[in-house]
Amino acid sequence: MGPRDRDGRPEIMGSVQDVTERRLSEEALGKVRSELARMTRVMEPGGLDRLDRATKSTSPCRASLPTPATCLRMLSTDPP
């Protein structure tokens, strides 16, 4: 049968573990990995150009925004 308490009733044992912090950490890690993968694709040779062309072809209104190369050139000036 199994362990019994003082009155002869079956004794039930169990445990509880809070995994909330672990779940939140795993979600945050997933977001960081996703962002790292995106940045890796963008930083590949020609990645910024592909990103720029894809943005322009899918959103004509955004075509008037500066290209990544223009942004980098603007940031390299003194003062930026």
CB 51 within 8 A of CB 68: yes
CB 62 within 8 A of CB 56: yes
Structure tokens at 47: 């990645």
Tens digit of each residue's pLDDT (9 = 90 or more) over 34-58: 988 888 877 777 666 665 565 555 5
Average pLDDT over residues 6-32: 91
**Confidence band for 62, pLDDT divided at 50, 70 and 90:** low
**Taking CA 26 as the corner, what is the angle to CA 47 and CA 16, rounded to the nearest 5 degrees?**
170
Average pLDDT over residues 13-36: 91
**Taking CA 9 as the corner, what is the angle to CA 7 and CA 11, rounded to the nearest 5 degrees?**
115
d(CA 44, CA 50): 10
d(CA 43, CA 51): 10
